[in-house]
Homo-oligomer: A and B are copies of this chain.
Amino acid sequence: MATLKYSRQRESIKEFLMTRKDHPTADVVYENMKKIYSNISLGTVYRNLSLLSDIGEIQKLSSFGGADHFDGCVTPHCHFICTDCGQVLDLETDDMNRLMEKSVKNFSGKITGYDLRFFGLCPRCITHR
């Protein structure tokens, strides 16, 4: 495995993600990084997002129909996706780890993790109806 070397770009990307409560796509990260590094490339953003999520410093939220979203928060939590506006929100829940393990029946594989997403209307979209 390759040795990790410091890079300003990577540091900034990680910092940026940790300050955001929404869950930006690669493109949004790119637009924001351009404010700091005017000629950073989209490829670099993708490479670093992918690298950071590989080493577990950020979380990649795969496709809700469009582009992937990235989450600077790696402690386990669930997400809510608004079916109207597409917004991705964090959700507070009881701890579900034990629940999850116990509820699976008749499976001889090995479960190492899970991903739970809720769908519906976010507070704002409910109001607008």
Contacts and interface: CB of A to CB of B under 8 A. Distances in A.
A6 interface: no
B114 A103 contact: no
A118 B104 contact: yes
Interface string A98-129: 01101111111111111111111111011000
Contacts of A126: 108-110
A122 B96 CA distance: 22
Interface stretch (A11-19, A26-34, A37-45, A86-94): A86-94
Contacts of A104: 78, 91-93, 118
A93 B82 contact: no
A113 B109 contact: no
A93 B83 contact: no
A82 to B, nearest CB: 7
Interface string A65-95: 1001000000000101011000001011110
B111 A114 contact: no
A3 interface: no
Top-5 shortest CB links A-B: A63-B63, A111-B120, A92-B105, A112-B120, A94-B103
